[in-house]
């Protein structure tokens, strides 16, 4: 696990100091060493977190004659098999690291090398003989890669702040991307919050030369082909074997390793699989809240006791929101998922004990675990209602209001009524939006709305929906989340939180073979009535306590609604109505005042919307307007000169 960065000028030279500055701001991603490769017009850098071949695996790594050089962030879990095959083909290795297989795979397969990889990764390969830069990102987007191009010069980095260390890249916001952020709470790929910076999408490769660039996908899930004739009991057993194997290969490490344990089904399944493959006690780490409605620690303890883990806990208090400015700095873009707060705290707790941690990310998106899947599936079954009734429903329930909490009955009824006249894709986009089009229009100033040029993040969601060819609504929801919410929100949250404390997070349920198997399971074995994760529960029955398997989903949520009415009552007003914020000209003052007043009075739950605006303002203050630091070159630096 590392932070990688680079600059290539196909018609000039690269300033070595810029490369060191890019690496230095990512030192938290890899505090063990810095590696630098410099050649004619090329600079590659890496901050390494040493996990495999700790003593000898420093990067950059080159092939035998030094004409192919790689820097990688991530892990290749099948590297031993790949290495064996490469050695049979005559390739020689100078390290025991997983990174080195990349240069030799590239020599044989070129841009199709990615088809052979099982892992999480973002890497860049410099081909000196062809003078091209080849970049790739893993299938689901576990590892990030930002890039930019201006004329003959290209840049790439694991974090957007590293790119901004070069004064040649302006700190100018992309207002269309900001509009999209308001809708979904993150900036969806391939855009970034900065006008001149882009994200490499998941499952994509990018080839850059002096003449131009070629970007394209190399993988996607197939929801059409189903294992309809396989008995449910057999599917459940095969699923458990896939999870066990995906967990086993993620246990390779030369440094201490543990697991994040929420007490939910997904993380509990990973701990159960770890216990089967581990001789000692598994170290587990959990986060909780004083609010009983948000606290899952009791269930985490059930799993810890069941598998006799070495268990550690941390309770998050309202004062934890004080880290919000740090969140803005680390994420580098506006990011509105408030569960980033406990994620940072559990990452800090974890870092005191281990360097690698497994988690349960991905289970909801493969097996229909979110409550919104149930709600949208139910709404789709009401399409038989007469169109006049569907169109009239919002007006009928409008006097009820939204309710004091996002999960309250009134809020759910109001949302369902608003969605009845929509298509299934539009309905799901509404459920995934903090600010729908009507709310955005009422919030934005005319100037901001005009500058955003009509950008609609809903179209990102509906386009993902339409790419799915399954006849089942459930599969469309899963496919949409895998393409949007998973890489844009969930994986960003975990990558940044763990890397901030130099911890590597691994996700067995995001193994592409597990996900491919899951996509082939009939939709009715994922969501049946109001029961999600049907087949996953079957696979785990008898392996996990029934109390964990059968309890309602709680989710990794934060009690923001109560905090903004009690402990942090003044925070939204202090920040969002401050002259520094209002002078930006993004938003009209009246809608913000109304949201604050309605939320305080308990007439509606605007906590997620207010947090969205707070994080946007903090991003402006802490990132966009922050002075460019001049960090000193620190740590162990290995420098390689190219031919």
Q: Which residues are annotated as catalytic? A: 2
Residue 551 CA to residue 539 CA, distance in Å, equals 16
CA distances from 130 to 133, 150, 204, 215 (A): 9, 20, 21, 17
Strands (DSSP E) found in 166-297: 198-199, 204-209, 212-217, 257-260, 283-288
3-state secondary structure of 154: strand
Edge-to-edge strand order for the sheet containing 42-48? 198-199, 146-150, 153-157, 2-9, 42-48, 33-39, 637-641
Nearest to 133 by CA among 111, 166, 113, 117: 111
Rounding to the nearest 10 degrees, give the CA dihedral for residues 106, 111, 116, 122: 90
Residue 84, classified by CB atoms within 10 Å of its CB into exposed (0-12), middle (13-18) or buried (19+), is: exposed
CA distances from 312 to 83, 258, 290, 343, 354 (A): 37, 11, 16, 14, 12
Cβ atoms of residues 138 and 116 within 8 Å: no
586 token code pair: 């993004």
DSSP string, 471-500: S-HHHHHHHHHHHTHIIIIIHHHHHHHHHT
Nearest to 509 by CA among 478, 531, 488: 478
CA distances from 330 to 29, 183, 492 (A): 11, 21, 11
Residue 570 CA to residue 350 CA, distance in Å, equals 32
Residue 451, classified by CB atoms within 10 Å of its CB into exposed (0-12), middle (13-18) or buried (19+), is: middle
The conformation of residue 333, written as its DSSP 8-state character, comes to: S
Cβ atoms of residues 210 and 150 within 8 Å: no
Nearest to 102 by CA among 88, 90, 249, 118: 118
Question: Which H helix or E strand runs over 73?
Answer: strand 68-76
């Amino acid at each position: 696990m590392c932070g990688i960065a680079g600059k290539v000028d196909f018609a000039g030279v690269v300033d070595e100091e810029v490369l060191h500055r890019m690496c230095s701001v990512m030192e938290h991603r890899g505090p063990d060493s810095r590696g630098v490769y410099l050649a004619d017009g090329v600079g590659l850098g890496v901050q390494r977190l040493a996990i495999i071949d700790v003593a000898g695996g420093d990067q950059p790594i080159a092939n035998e004659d030094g004409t192919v050089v790689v820097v990688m962030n991530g892990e290749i879990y099948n590297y031993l098999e790949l290495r064996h095959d490469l050695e049979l083909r005559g390739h020689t290795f100078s390290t025991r690291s997983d990174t080195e297989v990349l240069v030799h795979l590239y020599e044989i397969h070129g841009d199709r090398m990615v088809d052979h990889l099982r892992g999480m990764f973002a890497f860049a390969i410099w081909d000196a003989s062809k003078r091209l830069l080849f970049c790739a990102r893993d299938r689901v987007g576990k590892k990030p890669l930002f890039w930019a191009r201006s004329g003959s010069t290209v840049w790439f980095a694991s974090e957007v702040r590293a790119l901004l260390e070069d004064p040649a890249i302006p700190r100018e916001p992309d207002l269309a991307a900001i509009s999209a952020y308001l809708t979904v709470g993150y900036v969806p790929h391939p855009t970034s919050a900065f006008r001149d910076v882009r994200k490499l999408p998941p499952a994509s490769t990018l080839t850059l030369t002096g003449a131009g660039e070629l970007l394209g996908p190399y993988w996607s899930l197939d929801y059409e082909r189903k294992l309809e004739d396989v008995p449910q009991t057999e599917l459940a057993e095969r699923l458990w074997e896939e999870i066990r194997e995906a967990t086993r290969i993620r246990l390779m490490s030369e440094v201490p390793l543990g697991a994040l344990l929420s007490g939910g089904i997904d993380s509990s399944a990973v701990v159960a699989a770890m216990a089967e493959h581990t001789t000692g006690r598994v170290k587990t780490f959990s986060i909780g809240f004083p609010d009983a409605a948000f606290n899952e620690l009791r269930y985490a303890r059930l799993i810890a006791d069941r598998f006799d883990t070495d268990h550690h806990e941390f309770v998050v208090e309202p004062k934890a929101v004080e880290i919000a400015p740090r969140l803005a700095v680390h994420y580098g873009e506006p990011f509105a998922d408030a569960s980033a707060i406990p994620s940072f705290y559990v990452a800090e707790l974890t870092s005191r004990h281990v360097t690698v941690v497994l988690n349960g990310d991905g289970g909801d998106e493969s097996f229909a675990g979110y409550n919104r899947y149930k709600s949208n599936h139910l709404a789709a079954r009401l399409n038989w209602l007469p169109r006049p009734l569907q169109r009239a429903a919002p007006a009928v329930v409008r006097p009820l209001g939204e309710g004091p909490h996002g999960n309250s009955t009134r809020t759910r009824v109001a949302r369902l009524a608003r969605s009845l006249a929509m298509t299934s894709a539009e309905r799901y986009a509404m459920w995934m939006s903090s600010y729908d089009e009507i709310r955005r229009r009422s919030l934005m100033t005319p100037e901001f709305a005009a500058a955003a040029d009509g950008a609609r993040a809903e179209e990102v969601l509906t386009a993902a929906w339409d790419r799915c060819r399954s006849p089942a609504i459930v599969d469309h929801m899963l496919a949409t989340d895998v393409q949007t919410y998973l890489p844009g929100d969930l994986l960003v949250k975990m990558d940044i939180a763990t890397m901030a404390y130099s911890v590597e997070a691994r996700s067995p349920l995001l193994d592409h073979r597990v996900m491919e198997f899951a996509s082939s399971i009939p939709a009715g074995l994922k969501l049946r009535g109001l029961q999600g994760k049907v087949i996953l529960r079957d696979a785990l029955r008898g392996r996990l306590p029934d109390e964990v398997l059968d309890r309602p989903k709680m989710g990794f949520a934060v009690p923001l609604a109560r905090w903004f009415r009690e402990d942090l009552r003044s925070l939204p007003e202090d920040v969002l109505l401050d002259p520094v914020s209002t002078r930006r000209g993004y938003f009209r003052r009246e809608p913000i005042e109304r949201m604050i007043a309605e939320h305080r009075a308990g007439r509606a739950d605007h906590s997620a919307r207010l947090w969205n605006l707070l994080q946007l303002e903090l991003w402006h203050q802490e990132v966009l307007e922050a002075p460019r630091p001049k960090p000193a070159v620190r740590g162990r630096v290995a420098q390689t000169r190219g031919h």
